A and B are shown apart, each in its own frame.
Chain A
Amino acid sequence: MSPVNPLRDPQDRRLPRIPEPCALVIFGVTGDLARKKLIPAVYDLANRGLLPPAFVVVGFARRDWDDATFARLAREAAQEHARTPWREEVWARLATGIRFVGGSFDDDVAFDRLDRTLEELRDTHGIQGNVAFYLSIPPASYPVVLKQLARTGMADNERCGGWRRVVVEKPFGHDLASARELNQLVDEVFTPADVFRIDHYLGKETVQNLLALRFANTLFYPVWNNRYVDSVQITMAEDVGIGTRAGFYDAAGAARDVLQNHLLQLLTLVAMEEPTSFDAEEIRYEKLKVLKAIKLPEDIATGTVRGQYRQGWVAGQRVAGYLDEKGVPPDSTTETYVAVRLGVQNRRWAGVPFYLRAGKRLPRRVTELAVIFKRAPHLPFHPTDVEMLGNNQLVIRVQPEEGVVLKFGSKVPGTTMEVRDIAMDFQYGEAFTEPSPEAYERLVRDVLIGDSTLFPHADEVEQSWRVIDPLQEAWAGTRPEPYRAGEWGPRGADELLARDGRVWRRA
């Protein structure tokens, strides 16, 4: 481990934190994620000067490529998708550290070759045995690859004389049992502290800002409880359909695809207590407490809604229904929309419903968290004067335009006393117009530095499945309600809130 560097001073905040010399091995380097996100993120990090002098990217895939072919394709991917300006000299430097190892995941020879390559790189590129393995592959292939890494000893920190880390993408299993199995496997091959589970939502600027908003200000803390909060709505709407993911999506559905990870993670960040410090361990501890306190609806049939989109119009285009999508069985009962009413059982949140919804082919792409406050207990106005006054709201918009909206009542200018809602809108793109780093850029750097704050831990994943599994059981054998593509979900979702005397926020 690196000794104390006399040139680094905690007060000197101009110097960026740079990872130790290392290699990033990407399995499934021909896939979309690697091409569109990972390789561009590596270039952007290099361009910002955030990579160590000794840095190597090793691609692994079933292709008959040499280093130069891979370097050329990586260059195309970076050039097309990078967010920072293209600079030839930055790429030229990165390109000296690009390697490719071809082979299938069950090919012992290929993995032995990968191990040898990494050993050579230790000498030629000074990576000091530090390697992060990025599994950008279908979850079904995880066990094979992990076993190969164990067999060759590539995952062994001690044998390698450096750190060995592994990055896994969601889905982390498809239920509690499979998640446990997967966790056991990765934790066995690597040490638990070296496993990084990517939930790219947590890399987004606004999500991190939520913690700043809640714990750096005095303004919101006093009202952040059931005395003032009426309800919380978390929305993740997509206008796209399932695209080419029919095989995966039809087996999973909206609840497993996004509710289990993104939405529950967002819920924990809204509901968690103040951590004793911003240490990864402390934050995880508080998040886990929230997940354990989640209460499912007593009657799952009436407390949840599943939907499936039918043919309709989205953004001026006619789109096919889910059952007509390529690769979807015509009798599929998989949901493309899910809404659920959860509770958080603790003193702060008792009685406050958390409404979560996620769906495909909704009118627009938006992810937001809305904290809806109670109405004033007494309004000293004539009832007609406050007809237009709704609940105060604090909305944290995660995407597309990251920002915060505060909605409150204000007098309409004029001689009459009339109060109506206005929205005070803070946009990141306005107050800080510099484009925020891509979530993957931030997360890849965190992996290389070894900071696990923004990565869900195995306990959190397992606890999330404890929320999802009973829902899946109750839904077995039921059919999702249809909704027209381009609508805000099935009618049942509106009825779910109407029964509680509430309405969904038009996100």
Chain B
Amino acid sequence: MAALWDTTGTEVVRELAAARRSDGVTSGLVLTLVAVVDEQPGQTTPVKAVEDAATVAAAAHPCRLLVVTRSPAHEAPDRLDAEVVVGGRLGPCEAVIMRMQGRLALHAESVVMPLLAPDVPVVAWWHGPPPPQLGTDPLGVVAERRITDCAQADDPVAALRQRAVDYHAGDTDLSWTRLTGWRTLVAGAFDQVDEGTVVQRASVAAPANDASGALLAGWLAARLGITPELTDPGTGRVESVRLGLANGDEITIVREGSSARLHQPGQEDRVMPLLERTLGEELAEELRRLDADQTYAAALSAATGVSGLERRPATRVHTWVDPAEVAVGTVGHHEVMM
């Protein structure tokens, strides 16, 4: 491990190479993960949470982790601090944790680009409220896969809608990843219904401001061609899914702590595991596939009413936004601000 204070990008590259030589190399790197944890005024930087999650995810997908913390301030002098960790506390992950200040913070890619592992995919992950337009962040442009987390926005459902507006193939959101357990249960329940069964009604009990609940309803809508009803259970998370069949029967899946009770007509109720996963495990699922997630795009489209997502290109083009303008409130070409 080496800490570099008030350093340069070149120095960081040199230190990473030296650390790889002396501390042992993670051979077989699968990808580079760029974690963006921009500081919010009045909040402590959640770099620790990012490190913990990346360590778990790296156990399944060995990666180079580049953590970028930016605090752009015009008055502040340009400054780069970096820490290089190879084969240390982050397990199989080799990491560079960087903090950038001043105008340098607007050009983070100039430090990050030379640190990307050669010829392996780049994944960008915003740990924090998603930026309205990923194309305005140069780190989002170099990445093939872009992971956001609408649950961290002030208004998650509005943030989700903005994700649809701004969608490009290769985007995903952790509020979708968190649904895999639910979706497995619902699809599993549906494996056992008879041929030709038609679902007429569906209802999802999830908080009105929950992005995962909206996506779950969107997924059912996209797959079954119905419009599920959303009801707020008042508990702050997804609680149940009910599917009304044409013959009047109902399939219900209701959360009971860390399990779910599955009720199907003509069968005894069963209790299935419904696991709460850690951020690291969710991230590991995200990194499993690096191609576009069409099922997510369809669910996102149905959840937000924004159409044509499947025709969006997979590459992003950088849009320059002058931070000075944003600071004084001129929104420019942003379609929706949160």
Contact = CB atoms under 8 A, between A and B. Distances in A.
B270 A53 contact: yes
Interface of B: 26-28, 30, 58-62, 91-92, 177, 180-181, 183-184, 186-197, 220, 223-224, 257-259, 262, 264, 267-268, 270-273, 275, 284-285, 289, 293-295
Interface stretch (A16-24, A387-395, A482-490): A16-24
Contact of A15 (B180, B189, B258): B180
B88 to A, nearest CB: 15
A128 B194 CA distance: 13
Given A124-B268, A126-B268, A5 B273 contact: no
B188 A93 contact: no
A89 B264 CA distance: 21
B78 to A, nearest CB: 38
Given A5-B187, A15-B187, A430 B196 contact: no
A96 B92 CA distance: 40
A6 B193 CA distance: 11
Interface stretch (A105-113, A160-168, A295-303, A431-439): A431-439
A430 B224 contact: no
B187 A7 contact: yes
Contacts of A2: 191-192
A350 interface: no
A9 B27 contact: no
Contacts of B197: 3
B270 A15 contact: no
A7 B262 contact: no
A9 B295 contact: yes
B60 A434 contact: yes
B262 A432 contact: no
A53 B190 contact: no
Contacts of A52: 188, 191
A12 interface: yes
Nearest to A429: B92
The majority secondary structure among interface residues of chain A is loop
Contacts of B62: 430-433
Contacts of A7: 183, 186-187, 190, 220, 223-224
Nearest to B193: A3
Interface in A89-125: 89-90, 93, 96, 124-125
The 8 closest A-B pairs by CB, nearest first: A431-B28, A3-B195, A12-B295, A7-B187, A53-B270, A434-B60, A126-B267, A433-B59
B191 A430 contact: no
B259 A89 contact: yes
B30 A431 contact: yes
B252 to A, nearest CB: 13
A125 B26 CA distance: 48
Contact of B262 (A49, A53, A427, A431): A53
Contact of B189 (A53, A87, A124, A427): A53
A159 interface: no
Contact of B26 (A9, A20, A430): A430
B188 A13 contact: no
A491 interface: no
B161 to A, nearest CB: 22
B93 to A, nearest CB: 10
Contact of B191 (A9, A11, A18, A124): A18
Given A18-B191, A93-B273, A425 B27 contact: yes
Contact of A9 (B181, B223, B268): B223
B181 A54 contact: no
Contacts of B258: 89
Contact of A18 (B60, B188, B285): B188
A3 B28 CA distance: 42
A93 B261 CA distance: 11
Interface string A411-443: 000000000000001110011111000000000
B188 A53 contact: yes
A506 interface: no
A9 B295 CA distance: 8
15 contacts: A2-B192, A6-B224, A11-B295, A13-B289, A14-B293, A15-B180, A18-B191, A20-B192, A52-B188, A53-B188, A54-B192, A93-B270, A93-B272, A430-B92, A434-B60
